[in-house]
Amino acid sequence: MTEIAIPRPTQGDVVQLILDDHRFFEALLRDLRDVTADREAARAALSAVLIAHGEAEEEKVYPQLRRKDAIGEHEAEHGEEEHAEGNQALLHLLECKGTDTQKFDDAVEDLATALNHHIGEEEQTILNPARTEVGEQVRQDLGSAWAARRSELLDQDCGSIAYVEKVVARAEKEGKLPDDER
């Protein structure tokens, strides 16, 4: 397995940093669908960056955007619920023993569906208001805080199956997953 380098920005406009990760997710999903790609490396990279990205958003970005009235409680909660659903789909992908099975392909598509839905909604209902309702300096400060937390999580091996299991269990306990998924 060849390791895929995960970008580690340290600063920037939080909106652009999040968008950059979204495009990285999409590239990794393409690799996961490509039987000639190193699917194991793509799975490991996606797991790490997806968990770090979402956890950092929930801890550093969503609360600040709510305080600035850029987003409401509903948007933040909905974003967290969609993170939980994506993380659960990610866990199913990580539980696949190999990368050359129909179960793996199905798990990739389930994750892609959840992730693509979330990316579209987040870009429209959270990032657009952040662009227009939050000043440039606040977006820069948020970008630095988000990037630092994301890097901390990456350093903690947040993409491991054990870590993802804990994140999904916490979401279940907090009621962030639909009842039919529990």
State the pLDDT at residue 2: 79
State the pLDDT at residue 94: 98
**CB-hemisphere CA count at 13 Å for 94?**
22
Could you tell me how far CA 26 lies from the centroid of its own chain? 11
Q: What is the mean pLDDT of each run of 10 residues along the chain (182 residues)?
A: 92 98 98 97 98 97 92 93 97 96 97 97 95 96 98 97 97 88 43
State the pLDDT at residue 12: 98
State the pLDDT at residue 179: 72
CA distance 81 to 78: 5
State the pLDDT at residue 128: 95
State the pLDDT at residue 182: 41
Both structure tokens of 15? 């909106």
CA distance 77 to 60: 14
